[in-house]
């Protein structure tokens, strides 16, 4: 349970940074799995499947994230 809680907190930090930091948003949009793994550690199969459904482009990705939260916690 602690792992999920910690991961949820990390997702919240990622979300805040995504919204406030254009360079991070570009990095996350171009290499989502690599960028998330650098923060979260190895991604779960659920997270990889979730990312594979995400559209390209920062605006589209942000809309996707708002409508389809990641498998752990919320974005």
Domain extent at residue 9: 2-67
Rounded average pLDDT per 10-residue block, the chain, 75 residues: 70 84 86 85 83 69 69 50
* Three-state secondary structure readout of 5-72: HHHHHHHHHHHHHHHHCHHHHHHHHHCHHHHHHHHHCCCCHHHHHHHHCCCCCHHHHHHHHHHCCCCC
Amino acid 7: pLDDT: 79
Residue 75 lies in a domain: no
Q: How many residues does the chain have?
A: 75
Q: CB of 53 within 8 A of CB of 68?
A: yes
Amino acid 2: pLDDT: 45
Count CB atoms within 10 A of the CB of residue 56.
9
Amino acid 3: pLDDT: 63
Q: How many structural domains does the chain have?
A: 1
Q: Which two tokens stand for residue 11?
A: 């997702």
Residue 19 lies in a domain: yes
Residue 60 lies in a domain: yes
Residue 73 lies in a domain: no
């Amino acid at each position: 349970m602690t792992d999920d809680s910690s991961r949820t907190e990390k997702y919240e930090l990622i979300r805040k940074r995504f919204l406030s930091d254009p360079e991070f948003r570009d990095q996350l949009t171009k290499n989502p799995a690599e960028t998330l793994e650098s923060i979260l550690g190895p991604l779960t199969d659920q997270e990889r499947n979730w990312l594979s459904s995400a559209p390209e482009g920062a605006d589209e990705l942000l809309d996707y994230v708002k409508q389809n939260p990641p498998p752990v916690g919320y974005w």
